[in-house]
Amino acid sequence: MKELNYDSVVIGGGAAGMAAALELDAAGFSCAILEREESLGGILTQCIHNGFGLIEFNEELSGPEFAEKIEERLAGTGIKPFTGVTVMEMDASGEHKTLYCYSGTHGVLRVTSRVVVLAMGCRERNRGNIRIPGDRPAGVYTAGLAQRLVNIEGFVPGKDVVIIGSGDIGLIMARRMSWVGCKVHAVVEILPYPSGLTRNIVQCLHDFGIPLYLSHLTTNIIGKDRVEGVEITPIENGAMQHEKAFTIPCDTVLLSVGLVPENELSKMAGVELNAMTNGPAVDSMLMTNVPGVFACGNVLHVHDLVDYVVEEARRAGAHAARWLKGERPKAEARVKAGPNVRYSAPGRVDLGAVNKLYMRTLIVKNDATLEVKVNNRVVKSVKKNHIQPSEMIALELGPKDLETALGAPEPVVEISIT
Amino acid sequence: MSEELICITCPLGCHLSVDRLGDGNLAVTGNRCPRGVKYANEELLSPKRVVSATAAIVAPGSRAGTLIGGPPGGAPAHGLGDVARLPVRSTAAFPKQDVPELLAAIYALRVEPPVKRGDVLIRDFKGSGVDVIATRTL
- The residues near A76 (Cβ < 8 Å, ≥ 6 apart) are none
Residues of B with Cβ-Cβ distance to A197 under 8 angstroms: 11
Of A49, A50, A152, the CB nearest to B83: A152
Of B13, B70, B87, the CB nearest to A62: B87
Question: Per-residue DSSP letters for B93-125?
Answer: -EEGGGHHHHHHHHHT-EE-S---TT-EEE-SG
For residue A31, is pLDDT > 50? Answer: yes
> Mean pLDDT over all residues of chain A?
94
What average pLDDT score do residues A108-126 get?
96
What average pLDDT score do residues A302-318 get?
95
For residue A67, is pLDDT > 70? Answer: yes
Of A61, A64, A198, the CB nearest to B6: A198
Query: Given an 8 Å threshold on Cβ–Cβ distance, is A68 in contact with B73?
Result: no
For residue A341, is pLDDT > 80? Answer: yes
pLDDT in tens, A12-24: 999 999 999 999 9
Chosen for mutation from B52, B86, B89, B133 (greatest number of chain A CBs closer than 10 Å) is: B52
Query: Given an 8 Å threshold on Cβ–Cβ distance, is B84 in contact with A153?
Result: yes
3-state secondary structure of B11: coil
Count Cβ atoms below 10 Å from residue A86 Cβ, excluding itself: 15
For residue A311, is pLDDT > 80? Answer: yes
Residues of B with Cβ-Cβ distance to A141 under 8 angstroms: none
Domain boundaries for CATH 3.10.530.10 within chain B: 48-134
Encode chain B (138 residues) as per-residue pLDDT tens digits. Answer: 788 888 888 777 788 999 988 888 899 999 989 999 999 999 998 999 999 999 998 876 544 444 544 444 444 455 556 788 999 999 999 999 999 999 999 999 999 889 999 999 999 999 999 999 999 998
Radius of gyration of chain A (CA): 23
Dihedral angle sign, alpha carbons of residues A273, A288, A101, A38: positive
For residue A209, is pLDDT > 80? Answer: yes
Question: Per-residue DSSP letters for A134-201?
Answer: B---B-EEEHHHHHHIIIII-----SEEEEES--HHHHHHHHHHHHTT-EEEEEE-SSSS-SS-HHHI
CATH 3.40.50.300 for domain B48-134, yes or no, is no
What average pLDDT score do residues A300-312 get?
94
Interface predicted TM-score (ipTM) of this complex, two decimals: 0.89
Q: β-strand A365-374 against A412-417: which pairing, if any?
A: antiparallel
Give the pLDDT of residue A249: 98
Instruction: State the Cα–Cα distance between residues A130 and A126, nearest whole angstrom.
Output: 7
Query: Given an 8 Å threshold on Cβ–Cβ distance, is B69 in contact with A153?
Result: yes
Give the pLDDT of residue A105: 87
Query: Given an 8 Å threshold on Cβ–Cβ distance, is B69 in contact with A180?
Result: no
Of A152, A202, A386, the CB nearest to B12: A386
Q: Is B66 on the interface with A (CB under 8 A)?
A: no
Residue of A nearest to B53 (CA): A48
What average pLDDT score do residues A73-98 get?
95
Of B52, B80, B81, the CB nearest to A49: B52
Instruction: State the Cα–Cα distance between residues A388 and B5, nearest whole angstrom.
Output: 20
Phi, psi (rounded to 5 degrees) for A207: -60, -25
Domains and CATH numbers, chain A: 1-124+259-328 (3.50.50.60), 126-257 (3.50.50.60), 331-418 (2.60.40)
Instruction: State the Cα–Cα distance between residues A198 and B14, nearest whole angstrom.
Output: 10
Give the pLDDT of residue B47: 92
Residues of A with Cβ-Cβ distance to B85 under 8 angstroms: 150-154
Instruction: State the Cα–Cα distance between residues B7 and B3, nearest whole angstrom.
Output: 12
Give the pLDDT of residue A304: 87
Q: If interface means Cβ-Cβ distance under 8 Å, which residues of chain A face chain B?
A: 45, 48-50, 60-65, 68, 150-156, 159, 179-181, 197-199, 201-203, 207, 366, 385-386, 388, 391
Give the pLDDT of residue B63: 45
Beta-carbon contacts below 8 Å between A and B: 92
- The residues near A106 (Cβ < 8 Å, ≥ 6 apart) are A2, A82, A85
pLDDT in tens, A224-258: 999 999 999 999 999 999 999 999 999 999 999 99
Query: Given an 8 Å threshold on Cβ–Cβ distance, is A64 in contact with B136?
Result: yes
Give the pLDDT of residue A111: 97
Give the pLDDT of residue B60: 63
pLDDT in tens, A355-402: 999 999 999 888 899 999 998 899 999 999 888 888 899 999 999 999
Give the pLDDT of residue B72: 46
Residue of B nearest to A61 (CA): B135
pLDDT in tens, A136-155: 999 999 999 999 999 998 88
Q: Among A353, A342, A281, which Cα is nearest to A315's?
A: A353
Instruction: State the Cα–Cα distance between residues A146 and A126, nearest whole angstrom.
Output: 13
For residue A92, is pLDDT > 50? Answer: yes
Q: Is B65 on the interface with A (CB under 8 A)?
A: no
Residues of A with Cβ-Cβ distance to B48 under 8 angstroms: none
What average pLDDT score do residues A95-124 get?
95
